[in-house]
Amino acid sequence: MKVAFAIEAGDGLNAQVCPNFGRAPRFLIVDSKDNSTEVLENKAAQEAHGAGTGAAAMISKHGVQAIVAGRFGPKAFDALSAAEIAMYEAPADQTVKTVLVQIQAGTLKKL
Amino acid sequence: MRIAIASGKGGTGKTLIATSLAVHWAKQGKAVTYVDADVEEPNGHLFLRPTFEKTTRHTVPVPRLAGFCDGCAKCQDACAFNAIIALKERVQVFDELCHSCGACVNACPHNSLKLQPRELGDLRHGMAKNINFIDGLLDVGEARATPLIEGVVEAADGELVIIDSPPGASCPAVTAIRGADIAVLITEPTLFGVHDLDLAVQVCQKLNVPPIIVLNRANLGGDMMDAIKATGAPLVAQIDFDPQISVATARGELAIDVVPGFADAIANIADAIVVSEVVS
Amino acid sequence: MKQIVMLSGKGGTGKTSITASLARVATEPKVIVDADVDAANMAILLPGDDEQWRPFFAGTRAVIDYEACINCMTCVWECPFKAIRESKDFRPVVDEFDCEGCGVCGQVCPTNAFSFKPHQAGTWTVRDTKWGPLVHAALNVGEDNSGKLVAQVRQEGRAQAAKTGADYVLIDGPPGIGCPVHAALGGTDLVIAVTEPGVSAQHDLNRLLDLAGWFKIPAAIILNKADLDPKAAQNLLKTAEDKGAKVVAKIPFMPEVPMALSKGIPLIEVPGMQEILGNCWQEIKELV
Ligand code: SF4
Ligand code: SF4
C-alpha cells in the first residue's frame, strides 16, 4: 500500500506530519511494502485559491491509497473521497513512522 | 450616459443617492434605468418599489462531462484554478472555484467536456413608475457574485443608466464600475470612509472611469478635506446629515419626496454629474 | 500559544472594531493578524510603525513574447476575459488588470508565444504596536482575498508569536464563508462569530458554526446590537445553543458607538465598553 503524508519538511520516516493538507509544503509517499519513500513538492500550496483540491488532484495522480494530514478542508475532503483515497487525521507533531505503525495496526481511524 | 454610484465602504448612503437621482431625472421626463448591482444585498427595490415584469434565472457556464473519459487528467492540468480534478473515468468540478474560462474544454483530447449553465440567482426587470428597474438577487449561499453583477450591468441599456454598485474595491465593485462613463463615489467624513474612498478612486483610475466625490453626512465626523483632496478626485457636492432623511429611509420612503430641501441637494449632484461628464 | 479567529460572514457587524478592542483590553502578550484584507482597517485602529512591506504573489498573468508573436490575433478573440486587446500598432496586448491567468491564450496561440509570470497581488508587513505585533496586508485594488494570503499572514503571525513568546494570536478573519475563511479557520483553537440580529446574519451564523464544526474547532458568539431586534436576537441565541456555541458577550446598541467610530475614537473609550469587552476577554480565555 502506498500512503502519502502531508509534511512540513524533511524527506524520511522521521519527518513530522503537517497540520494542513492543502497548504502543506510537501508530501512524503511511503510504500509500505519496503518502506521506500518519495518526496513530492506541493505546488498547489502556492495557489491563490483551491489549494485543497489542487493537492488532492496531485496526490490522486500518484496512485496512493491513503493520505495523512493534521486535517482536511471541506473541498479537499470531497475531492479525496471522490478519488477514493482514504484519509487519516493525525496529530501534527507525530512522525511519519509512528503514524504508519498505527495505520498498519488499524488503531488510527479513517475519516 | 452610464453613471456608476459607488463607495469604498458600505453604509455611506449609496443607494439613497442612486435612487434619488433616478427619481430626480424621471421627474424631468428623462428615460432613466436604475440598476441595482449590489446583488448580495440589493435594496433599491425597497425604495423604488417596482412591479417586476420579468424574472429570469441567471447562469454561469461550468464544465460537465458529456462523453468518454479515461481519466487522462489533461483538463486538470489545464485548469489554472484547481477547479476540476480527474478521477478514474470521470471528472469532478468544484463550481465555486471555476472561472468559466473553458481551458479544460479545450484540453480534453476526446472533446468530452461541455460548458453547461449553472444557476446563480435571479435577474429581475420591472418598472417603478416611469423608471426602468433592473436588479439581481444572488441565491442564498452562492459564493460567486461577479457573473450575476456582470449580467445585471449588461442587461441595462438606455440613455441614462444609474448603476448602484456593490461597496468595496475588489472584484464585485470593479465589475459594476467597468464600462461606466463616470463614477460618483459616495463617502463620509470618517477615517474608514476616507481610507476606503482612496481605494475606490484607484479602482476608477485603473478602469479609466473618471471619478467624482459626494460627501455625505458632511456635518458629522471630522474635517477630512485634505484627505479627500489627496485622492485626486474632485469633490462636487456635500450633503449634511438630517435626521429626517434617516427616518424616511428607515421607513422605506423616498427622502427626495418627503424631506424638504433634499430634492435641491440631489438636483445639485445631478447637475454636477452632467457638468463633469461634459468636461471629461 | 492559542489562536483565536474572529469571523462574521457578511460585513458590517462590527467585527473589526471589536477585534481591535479585544486587542486593547487583553493585557497578555499577543500577536494580532489582520486577515480581513477586503476591509483591512485594523491598521487604522492600531497605530504603530511598519516594517518594510513585502510583496505578496498570487496567480499568474500572461506575457507575450513578441519575437514569436505573428500578430494573428487568435488570443484576442479567444481570451474569455477580453483581457487581450489589439493595440494601435496592430499587436495583441495583455491588460494585466483584466487577465486572470487562465492560460487559454497559451492553448490557442499557434506559435507558443505565451508564458505565465507570477502575479504580485499585494503587499504585507508587520507593525510594531503598543498592543503587540500586528501582521497586516494591503491587496491591490480589484484583487480578492485568497486562501494563500490568509495562510501567509497567519504563518507570519505564528512566527511572531514564537519570537515574542506571545500567549495568543488574535486573527481578524476574512468575510464570507469561502476559501479564505477555510484558510483562516484551520488549526485555530477558537472561532468567534461576531453577529447581529437579522435574516442574512442568521444565515451566515449557521454556515460559520457548521464550518467550525467541520474543522472540530469550538465556537463562541459575540452578539452585537443585541437589543435592536429582540426576536431576531432570540433566534440567533437559539442557533448558538443548538450548535453548542457559547455566547461570550452581548453588546447593546449604543448611539455613542457610531459617533465614536466616525471620529476615530476606539470602541473601548465609549462608556461601558471597557467592562463589556473586559468580561468578554475573560470568557474567551476560559474557553481556550
Ligand atoms: S472552465 Fe476553466 S476554471 Fe472552470 S474547470 Fe475548466 S479550466 Fe477550470
Ligand atoms: S491567461 Fe486567460 S485571461 Fe489572461 S490573457 Fe490569457 S486567456 Fe486572457
Domains of chain A: 2-105 (3.30.420.130)
- B280 pLDDT band, cuts 50/70/90, is low
Residues B101 and B134 in one domain: no
Tell me, what CATH number does B77's domain have? 3.30.70.20
Count of helix runs (H) and strand runs (E) in chain B: 11, 11
Tell me, what's the pLDDT at C152? 93
Residues B189 and B101 in one domain: no
Grid cell locating C195: 453577529
> Which pTM value belongs to this model?
0.89
Q: What is the dihedral of CA B49, B52, B53, B55, to 10 degrees?
A: 160
Tell me, what's the pLDDT at C285? 95
Mutate to test the interface with C, among A18, A42, A71 (most CBs of C within 10 A): A71
Q: C182 and A52 in contact by Cβ < 8 A?
A: yes
B80 contacts in chain C (CB < 8 Å): 59-60, 100-103
Q: How far is the CA of C101 from the centre of ligand 2 (A)?
A: 5
Query: Distance between CA atoms of B149 and B132, rounded to whole angstroms?
Result: 17
Whether C243 has its CB under 8 Å from any CB of chain B: the answer is no
Tell me, what's the pLDDT at B41? 81
B203 contacts in chain C (CB < 8 Å): 141-142
Tell me, what's the pLDDT at B235? 94
Tell me, what's the pLDDT at B182? 96
Longest Cα–Cα distance of chain B, Å, equals: 71
Residues B107 and B156 in one domain: no
- C39 pLDDT band, cuts 50/70/90, is confident
Residues B151 and B219 in one domain: yes
Interface pTM (ipTM) of the complex? 0.87
List the beta bridge partners of residue A28.
A5, A39
List the beta bridge partners of residue C250.
C223
Grid cell locating C104: 487559454
A44 contacts in chain B (CB < 8 Å): 82
Q: How far is the CA of C70 from the centre of ligand 1 (A)?
A: 27
The more confidently predicted of residues B54 and C198 is B54
Q: Which of A48, A71, A74 sits opposite C59 (nearest CB)?
A: A48
Q: Does residue C66 carry a pLDDT above 90?
A: yes
Mutate to test the interface with B, among A53, A67, A80 (most CBs of B within 10 A): A53
The pick from B59, B62, B84, B106 for probing ligand 1's pocket by mutation, whose C-beta has the most ligand atoms within 8 angstroms, reads B84
Cβ of residue B60 lying under 6 Å from some atom of ligand 1: no
Asked whether C24 and C170 are in contact (CB, 8 A), the reply is: no
How far the first Cα of chain A sits from its last, in Å, is: 18
Q: B82 and A78 in contact by Cβ < 8 A?
A: no
The mean pLDDT value for B11-36 works out to 94
Residues B147 and B244 in one domain: yes
B221 contacts in chain C (CB < 8 Å): 262-263
Q: Does residue B113 carry a pLDDT above 90?
A: yes
Q: How far is the CA of C40 from the centre of ligand 1 (A)?
A: 30
The mean pLDDT value for B7-29 works out to 91
Q: Does residue B94 carry a pLDDT above 90?
A: yes
B30: left (phi over 0), alpha (psi -120 to 50) or beta: beta
Query: Distance between CA atoms of C66 and C50, rounded to whole angstroms?
Result: 41
User: β-strand C2-7 against C168-172: which pairing, if any?
Assistant: parallel
Question: How many domains would you assign to chain B?
Answer: 2
B78: left (phi over 0), alpha (psi -120 to 50) or beta: alpha
Tell me, what's the pLDDT at B203? 94
Q: Does residue C144 carry a pLDDT above 90?
A: no
- C151 SS3 class: helix
Residue B72 placed within a domain = yes
Nearest CA to ligand 2 atom 2: C102
Tell which residue, C142, C118, C138, has the closest CA to residue A47. C118
Contacts of B264 (CB under 8 A, 6+ apart): none
Q: Does residue A47 carry a pLDDT above 90?
A: no
A19 contacts in chain C (CB < 8 Å): 186-187
Nearest CA to ligand 1 atom 8: B79
The mean pLDDT value for A1-25 works out to 92
Domains defined along chain C, listed by start: 2-56+127-287 (3.40.50.300), 66-112 (3.30.70.20)
B95 contacts in chain A (CB < 8 Å): none
- B268 pLDDT band, cuts 50/70/90, is very high
Query: Distance between CA atoms of C75 and C82, rounded to whole angstroms?
Result: 9
Tell me, what's the pLDDT at C226? 82
Tell me, what's the pLDDT at A26? 95
Contacts of A61 (CB under 8 A, 6+ apart): B73
Tell which residue, C166, C164, C185, C163, has the closest CA to residue C174. C185
CA distances from C268 to A97, B268, C154, C257, C279 (A): 51, 40, 26, 9, 12
| Segments forming the whole domain that contains residue B104 | 67-111
Whether C115 has its CB under 8 Å from any CB of chain B: the answer is no
Which of B54-58, C1-5, C144-148 is least confident?
A: C144-148
The more confidently predicted of residues B225 and C107 is C107
The rounded percent of chain C whose pLDDT value lies above 70 is: 99
Residue B116 placed within a domain = no
Q: Among the ranges A104-108, B50-54, B86-90, B271-275, which has the highest mean pLDDT value?
A: B50-54
Tell me, what's the pLDDT at C259? 74
Residues B93 and B222 in one domain: no
Residues B168 and B250 in one domain: yes
Tell me, what CATH number does B33's domain have? 3.40.50.300
Cβ of residue B99 lying under 6 Å from some atom of ligand 1: yes
Asked whether C3 and B34 are in contact (CB, 8 A), the reply is: no
Q: Does residue C267 carry a pLDDT above 90?
A: no
Q: A82 and B87 in contact by Cβ < 8 A?
A: yes
Grid cell locating B242: 438630517
**C78 phi/psi in degrees, rounded to 5:** -90, -20
Tell which residue, C266, C264, C262, C268, has the closest CA to residue C280. C268
Query: Distance between CA atoms of B12 and B216, rounded to whole angstroms?
Result: 7
Whether A109 has its CB under 8 Å from any CB of chain C: the answer is no
Which of B60-74, B261-275, C262-276 is least confident?
A: C262-276
Q: Does residue C264 carry a pLDDT above 90?
A: no
Tell which residue, C29, C32, C10, has the closest CA to residue C21. C32
CA distances from C286 to C248, C280, C281 (A): 10, 10, 9
A61 contacts in chain B (CB < 8 Å): 73
Query: Distance between CA atoms of C203 and C201, rounded to whole angstroms?
Result: 5
In whole numbers, what is the pLDDT of chain B averaged over residues? 92
Residues B215 and B135 in one domain: yes
Which of A68-77, B63-72, B223-232, C131-140 is least confident?
A: B223-232
Query: Distance between CA atoms of C283 and C288, rounded to whole angstroms?
Result: 9
- Interhelix angle A51-61/A74-82, rounded to 10 degrees, is 20
The pick from B82, B91, B100 for probing ligand 1's pocket by mutation, whose C-beta has the most ligand atoms within 8 angstroms, reads B100
The more confidently predicted of residues B142 and A101 is A101
Q: Which residue type occupies B37? A: A
Residues B107 and B134 in one domain: no
CA distances from A43 to A26, A53, A85, B14, B80 (A): 8, 12, 20, 42, 12
Chain B residues with CB within 8 Å of chain A CB = 73, 76, 81-83, 85-87, 92, 94, 96-97
Q: B87 and A60 in contact by Cβ < 8 A?
A: yes
Query: Distance between CA atoms of A58 and B82, rounded to whole angstroms?
Result: 10
Residues B236 and B146 in one domain: yes
Q: Does residue B140 carry a pLDDT above 80?
A: no
Q: Does residue B143 carry a pLDDT above 90?
A: no
Closest chain B residue by Cα to residue A60: B87
Query: Distance between CA atoms of C80 and B150, rounded to whole angstroms?
Result: 14
Residue B133 placed within a domain = yes
Q: Which residue type occupies C267? A: L
User: β-strand C132-139 against C114-129: which pairing, if any?
Assistant: antiparallel
Burial class (CB in 10 A: 0-12, 13-18, 19+), C15: buried
- Interhelix angle A51-61/C147-164, rounded to 10 degrees, is 100
Residues B83 and B163 in one domain: no
Alpha helices in A43-87 (DSSP H): 51-61, 74-82
The pick from B90, B104, B113 for probing ligand 1's pocket by mutation, whose C-beta has the most ligand atoms within 8 angstroms, reads B104
Q: A79 and B86 in contact by Cβ < 8 A?
A: no
Residues B14 and B139 in one domain: yes
Residue B117 placed within a domain = no
Which residues contact ligand 2 via a Cβ below 6 A?
C 62, 79, 81, 83-84, 94, 99-105
Q: Which of A19, A20, A49 sits opposite C179 (nearest CB)?
A: A49
